[in-house]
């Protein structure tokens, strides 16, 4: 199975801050990576697919990059509604493993 790691596990930030989350796969997955946002008690919401493609309806302050084993999710200017937990998921092979999550909370 492909193991996914994320760093940091949590980050405290202020509105307007630039936030970067890193995801690493234990083996190359080309660009088959998705990023999800999850708020407490809610289902996940896809933000980015194919490593860098913005899902329809997602604000442009979210961006993704990377390929192979190393990927990043960047929030260019953190907004109040962005405080949540973010997960990466590899979509290259089954089982489609998720990273452990990065919690973004208010500083």
Partner 1 sequence: QVQLVESGGGVVQPGRSLRLSCAASGFTVSSYGMHWVRQAPGKGLEWVAVIWYDGSTKYYADSVKGRFIISRDDSKNTLYLEKNSLRAEDTAVYYCARDIAPTIPYGMDVWGQGTTVTVSS
**Beta-sheet strands, E only, within 26-101:** 33-38, 45-49, 53-54, 62-67, 70-75, 84-90
Q: Which structure tokens are listed for 46?
A: 């896809």
- Interface with partner 1 (CB under 8 A), residue from 68, 69, 74, 96: 96
Report yes or no: 65 and 71 within 8 Å, Cβ to Cβ. yes
CA-nearest of 26, 12, 34 to 78 is 12
Helix or strand run (H / E) with residue 22: strand 19-25
Stretch that binds partner 1, among 13-21, 59-67, 68-76, 85-93 (CB under 8 A): 85-93
Q: How far is the CB of 39 from partner 1 (least distance, A)?
A: 12
Stretch that binds partner 1, among 14-22, 29-37, 62-70, 76-84 (CB under 8 A): 29-37
Report yes or no: 6 and 102 within 8 Å, Cβ to Cβ. yes
Between residues 50 and 106, which has the closer beta carbon with respect to partner 1? 50
Work out whether 38 is an interface residue with partner 1 (CB under 8 A): yes
Work out whether 53 is an interface residue with partner 1 (CB under 8 A): yes
| Interface with partner 1 (CB under 8 A) | 1, 32, 34, 36, 38, 43-46, 49-50, 53, 55, 87, 89, 91-92, 94-101
């Amino acid at each position: 199975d492909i193991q996914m790691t994320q760093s940091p596990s949590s980050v405290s930030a202020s509105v307007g801050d630039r936030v970067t989350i890193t995801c690493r796969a234990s083996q190359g997955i080309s660009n088959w990576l998705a990023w999800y946002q999850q708020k407490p008690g809610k289902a996940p919401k896809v933000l980015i697919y194919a490593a860098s493609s913005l899902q329809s309806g997602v604000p442009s302050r979210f961006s993704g990059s990377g390929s192979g084993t190393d990927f990043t999710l960047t929030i260019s200017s953190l907004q109040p509604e962005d405080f949540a937990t973010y997960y990466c998921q590899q979509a290259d092979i089954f089982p489609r493993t998720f990273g452990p999550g990065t919690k973004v909370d208010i500083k």
